[in-house]
Amino acid sequence: MYSLSAREKLGIHPTDELDFSVKSLTVRKKLFGQNHILATFENIWRGGLPDVQEKDEEQLGEYFNSYIETYLMRDAVDDYGIADTEGFRKFLRACAAFAGQLVNYNDLGVSAGVSGVTAKEWVKILQSMGIIYLLEPYASNELKRLTKTPKLYFCDTGFCAYLSSWTTRDVLMNGAANGHYYENYVIAELLRHYAYGKNKVNLNFYRDNKMKEIDLIIEENGVLHPIEIKKSSAPDPSAAKSFSVLKNTSRTVGMGAVICMSDVVLPLDENTLIVPSNLI
């Protein structure tokens, strides 16, 4: 079970499926209202665990500390047999520091004082516990030299922010890592949407050795929808420049999107929409 999404916290429950069409997004816009950066980063910093929604900054920190000690560490020891509890705590913080990046087990291990082999095992444990999510790279026989390494995201951005000592919303919003947290937030919101939605999809990202990258590819009913995630409120057409690589496959490429802090749904080009992140 995932923590609460931003729309669940607002009590908004759209009846239609998210299909990245102007029609669907226009209907959602009437329900969701303004895409405000303060509200967005409040959601990112606080996260979606039900018990933290009414807590102040000090109480929130106390809650997450208790969450680690009474839930995560207990399960790590009792269910997964982890004896090095101090190393596992360091590992949690290392994962938070690497959120939104390609997984490097050796680097994670060094940060926690354990081997790369142990780091790989612990990543699997955190996946099983619903703490992190590994977004797998897109695979295609028609596209060569693709990365085979997944990207690491936290299922709850509030917990990730706590582990990295972002003590307030504003400090996080104005910090150097705000773009990484915004990307993690969008990925986590879409994970929740599709986990509970009627339509089943495949979620992947694209990266090749020429540094071309697509943050997310949503494959639904055999159609690929490329997604870029930008914290900007006014992305330019270059945001979608890597989408063209999918034309080299035999798959159908549908409407793409740049999910961002814009407050309006607009066409970026003939195949791509600008989509406010609060509509997902």
Which pLDDT score, from 0 to 100, does residue 37 have? 97
Domain boundaries, the chain: 6-279
Distance of CA 60 to the CA centre of its chain: 21
User: CA 163, CA 167: separation in Å to the nearest integer?
Assistant: 10
Which pLDDT score, from 0 to 100, does residue 88 have? 96
CB neighbourhood size of 182 (10 A): 26
pLDDT in tens, 1-44: 689 999 999 998 887 778 888 888 988 999 998 999 999 999 99
Q: Model confidence at 196, in pLDDT bands (50, 70, 90)?
A: confident
**Closest CA relative to residue 29, chosen from 271, 276, 260:** 276
